[in-house]
């Protein structure tokens, strides 16, 4: 068996035999055909070349002594032609001198058989060279394939190296868990102001870059668990000390068996600045006309600019209520946005819990009176380290919600307790309750249980979202439970002595 | 002798409404200024009994105007009531360092404003 492609044919191999003596040819041809070779026989060198070029055989048996063109010349011609260069040539000749044999190899023959020959010897040599040729072909193919694969790989690598280096987004590859920079791209260098030599091999902490979100143990644990982190906002300190805000996306990758973090950054400093500018612009531009509107309506309601009918009065009341609702909404949106963007920092101080609760009750007393709701306060004498204004805002938000959703002649409780190292606050009402499937939504923005609530109760849909922000900024927790028709309870847990922020 | 109040606000509509409200509720003389600069001039000349000063104004804001008023001998005794749209409970602490008689939050009811001013300054 020579190789699969040949074996698939009806014959073992295609052999071209060249000899000027027809008897010899006859003999060879018969011998080989019996052994299932396909044999083409020619008596002249020129014919042989044409036959070989038209359909290159697997092997050539070539007589040396021939008129016109001898075997050596035929072989030289074969070796000059691209199509036949690789076909193995075995010389068969009565010449038995060593010099003849040497000449045969010099012109490109692979073997030499002396006449008269032993049939078994000729067959063995043919088989050997066919096998060699087939192996050689295989090697050539494999070599070509390897080379093309290498080229592809090089091309791919070049593509990715170029993409990495030319990327407008800063990219880094860091080792895990020691967080050393292995590779950074020019965009990252431009962003940080450091040079390649200054960064590679260092950790973000060594360079005081900040970026704690991704280099902290917590960030690493999250990355290991999820394999990817998206759009984490972090602050980066450049070499010159400038602080930039980045959005990072991090992917866990494997480089030569080592876990690494591939981080793509997006500099959003400018975007954030515009956002903040926009917020303060909106804040002023929206509020000014609203203030003028409310003032004008107020003057109209006095009746001193002309008497209005009862319906006219009613219409003005509607206008006043809605203008006020709009201004509350603008204030709440701005408050929430400032808290979410971290622009509003806590002004912490030591507060007495009883004072806080009493103050909150005083602020809501008239609202409670109007709704015929009784406010009951139960406090403890303990001091707590919080932003008192914000906690007051939290309590008044929760209390006004409770009053809004209470029936006349019902009660609202505001209580404080100490539980271990936490201050535990509770606002409980006897109102209509919150459906169980809505409880998890109520701390999201604009998630009033009933769309008509906003109109009837004058709420903005942002109160509880603001509450959650305040509590979370204090490192605490807020949650609610409720049973339909029985009332709702809002729970807040705040650390009494919060640890300083890291 | 009726009281004299100077209203300082860059928004003409706010000035008109405030002036109208105070005039309807009292017999006070109401002056207006549309900028911190104008406020300083009028305050020096007219010596009002109080100044209602808007916090957010272009160029010279309420804070800067207040500093000038308190720095000049002619105006440093005039009580100033700061008016701001930002006076939500959580923002009030940032005014604690200012030498003001009070901070009023916008929106205010023009008619109630007279009562508030009277109460703050202890006018009878």
> Comparing A204 with A254, which gets the higher pLDDT?
A254
Q: What is the pLDDT of residue A339?
A: 77
Is B109 near chain A, with CB under 8 Å?
yes
Mean pLDDT for chain A? 86
DSSP assignments along A458-473, one per residue: ---S-HHHHHHHHHHH
Q: Which among A380, A415, A423, A422 has a CA at the least distance from the CA of A398?
A: A415
Give B 3-22 residues with CB within 8 A of chain A.
Answer: 11, 13-14, 17-18, 20-21
In this structure, are residues A315 and A323 in contact, taking their beta carbons and an 8 Å threshold? no
**Which residue is closest to B18 within chain A, CA to CA?**
A295
Q: What is the pLDDT of residue B97?
A: 64
Q: What angle do CA B91, B97, B101 make, to 5 degrees?
A: 90
CA distance B116 to A127: 118
Residue with tokens 């006020």: A324
CB pairs under 8 A between A and B: 62
For residue A131, what pLDDT band results from cuts at 50, 70 and 90?
very high
DSSP-derived secondary structure letter, A415 = E
Interface mutation vs chain A, best among B9, B10, B17, B30, most A CBs within 10 Å: B17
Residues B71, B1, B17, B12, CA torsion sign: negative
Given a cut of 80, whether residue A280 has pLDDT beyond it is no
Mean pLDDT for chain B? 86
**Which residue is closest to A303 within chain B, CA to CA?**
B24
DSSP-derived secondary structure letter, A436 = G
Q: What is the pLDDT of residue A449?
A: 58
The segment with the largest mean pLDDT, out of A94-98, A381-385, A497-501, B44-48, is B44-48
The kind and range of the H/E element at A182 are: strand A181-184
pLDDT digits over A216-234, tens only? 667 777 788 888 888 888 8
Is A473 near chain B, with CB under 8 Å?
no
In this structure, are residues A169 and A266 in contact, taking their beta carbons and an 8 Å threshold? yes
* Residues in chain A within 8 Å Cβ distance of B85: 283-284, 287-288, 291
Q: What is the pLDDT of residue A437?
A: 80
Given a cut of 90, whether residue A12 has pLDDT beyond it is no
Q: What is the pLDDT of residue B3?
A: 93
**Crossing angle (nearest 10°) for helices A22-34 and A119-166:** 70
For residue B107, what pLDDT band results from cuts at 50, 70 and 90?
confident
Strands of the sheet containing A411-419, edge to edge, are: A374-378, A411-419, A422-428, A487-495, A477-483
Q: How many CB atoms lie within 10 A of CB A469?
A: 21
CA distance A463 to A443: 8
- Give the residue ranges of DSSP H helices in A216-302: 217-226, 269-301
In this structure, are residues A62 and A88 in contact, taking their beta carbons and an 8 Å threshold? no
Look up residue A93 and give its two tokens.
Answer: 């000749």
* B110 with A298: Cβ contact below 8 A: yes
Preceding peptide of A177 cis, ω within 30°: yes
ipTM here: 0.74
Q: What is the pLDDT of residue A220?
A: 76
CA distance A243 to A296: 46
Given a cut of 50, whether residue A14 has pLDDT beyond it is yes
Q: What is the pLDDT of residue B96?
A: 61
Percent of the residues in chain A that have a pLDDT greater than 90, as a whole number: 38
Preceding peptide of B107 cis, ω within 30°: yes
Give A 288-307 residues with CB within 8 A of chain B.
Answer: 288-292, 294-296, 298-299, 302, 304
Query: Residue range A153-162: average pLDDT?
Result: 91
The residue ranges of DSSP E strands in A191-281, in sequence order, are: 228-237, 243-255, 258-267
Q: Which among A290, A361, A325, A276 has a CA at the least distance from the CA of A453?
A: A325
Look up residue B38 and give its two tokens.
Answer: 């104008």
In this structure, are residues B117 and B28 in contact, taking their beta carbons and an 8 Å threshold? no
CA distance A200 to A218: 23
Of chain A, the end-to-end C-alpha distance in Å amounts to 76
Q: What angle do CA B10, B15, B17 make, to 5 degrees?
A: 145
DSSP assignments along A87-151, one per residue: S-EEEEES---HHHHHHHHHTT-SEEEESS--HHHHHHHHHHHHHHHHHHHHHHHHHHHHHHHHH
What does residue A309 show for φ and ψ, rounded to 5 degrees?
-70, 170
DSSP assignments along A306-369, one per residue: B---HHHHHHHHHHHHHHHHHHHHHHHHHHHHHHHTT-S----EEEEHHHHHHHHHHHHHHHHH
């Amino acid at each position: 068996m020579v190789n699969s492609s040949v074996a698939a044919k009806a014959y073992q191999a295609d052999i071209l035999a060249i000899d000027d003596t027809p008897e010899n040819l006859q003999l060879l041809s018969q011998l080989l055909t019996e052994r299932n070779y396909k044999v083409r026989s020619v008596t002249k060198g020129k014919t042989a070349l044409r036959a070989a070029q038209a359909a290159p055989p697997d092997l050539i048996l070539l007589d040396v002594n021939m008129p016109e063109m001898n075997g050596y010349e035929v072989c030289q011609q074969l070796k000059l032609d691209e199509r036949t260069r690789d076909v193995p040539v075995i010389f068969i000749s009565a010449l038995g001198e060593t010099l003849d044999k040497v000449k045969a190899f010099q012109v490109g023959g692979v073997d030499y058989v002396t006449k008269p020959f032993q049939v078994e010897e000729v067959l063995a040599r043919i088989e050997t060279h066919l096998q060699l040729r087939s192996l050689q072909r295989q090697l050539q193919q494999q070599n070509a394939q390897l080379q093309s694969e290498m080229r592809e790989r090089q091309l791919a690598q070049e593509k990715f190296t170029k993409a990495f280096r030319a990327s407008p987004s800063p990219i880094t590859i860091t080792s895990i868990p020691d967080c050393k920079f292995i590779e950074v791209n020019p965009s990252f260098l431009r962003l940080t102001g450091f040079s390649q030599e200054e960064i590679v091999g260092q950790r973000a902490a060594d360079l005081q870059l900040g970026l704690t979100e991704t280099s902290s143990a917590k960030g690493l644990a999250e990355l290991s668990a999820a394999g990817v982190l998206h759009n984490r906002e972090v602050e980066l300190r450049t070499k010159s000390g400038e602080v930039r805000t980045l959005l990072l996306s991090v992917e866990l990758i494997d480089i030569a068996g080592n876990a690494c973090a591939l981080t793509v950054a997006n500099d959003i400093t400018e975007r954030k600045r515009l956002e903040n500018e926009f917020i303060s612009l909106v804040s002023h531009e929206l509020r000014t006309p609203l203030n003028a509107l409310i003032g004008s309506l107020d003057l109209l309601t006095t009746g001193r600019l002309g008497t209005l009918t009862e319906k006219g009065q009613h219409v003005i009341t509607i206008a006043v209520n809605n203008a006020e609702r709009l201004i509350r909404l603008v204030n709440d949106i701005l408050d929430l946005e400032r808290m979410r963007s971290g622009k509003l920092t806590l002004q912490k101080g030591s507060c007495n819990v009883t004072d806080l609760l009493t103050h909150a009750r005083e602020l809501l007393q008239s609202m409670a009176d109007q709704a015929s709701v009784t406010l009951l306060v139960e406090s403890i004498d303990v001091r707590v380290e919080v932003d008192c204004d914000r906690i007051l805002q939290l309590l008044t938000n929760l209390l006004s919600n409770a009053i809004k959703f209470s029936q006349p002649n019902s009660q609202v409780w505001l209580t404080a307790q100490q539980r271990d190292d936490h201050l535990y606050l509770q606002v409980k009402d006897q109102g209509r309750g919150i459906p169980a499937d809505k409880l998890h939504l109520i701390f999201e923005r604009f998630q009033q249980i009933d769309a008509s609530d906003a109109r009837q109760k004058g709420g903005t849909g942002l109160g509880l979202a603001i509450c959650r922000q305040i509590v979370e900024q204090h490192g605490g927790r807020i949650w609610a439970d409720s049973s339909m028709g029985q009332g709702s309870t809002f729970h807040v847990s705040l650390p009494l002595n919060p640890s300083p922020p890291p | 002798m009726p009281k004299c109040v100077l209203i300082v606000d860059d928004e003409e509509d706010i000035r008109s409404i405030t002036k109208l409200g105070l005039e309807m509720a009292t017999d006070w003389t109401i002056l207006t200024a549309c900028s911190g600069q104008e406020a300083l001039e009028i305050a020096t000349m007219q010596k009002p009994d109080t100044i209602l000063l808007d916090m957010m104004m272009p160029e010279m804001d309420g804070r800067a105007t207040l500093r000038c008023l308190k720095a000049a001998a002619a105006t440093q005794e005039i009580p100033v009531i700061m008016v701001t749209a930002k006076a939500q409970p959580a923002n009030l602490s940032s005014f604690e360092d200012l030498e003001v008689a009070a901070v009023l939050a916008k929106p205010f009811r023009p008619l109630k404003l007279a009562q508030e001013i009277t109460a703050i300054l202890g006018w009878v």
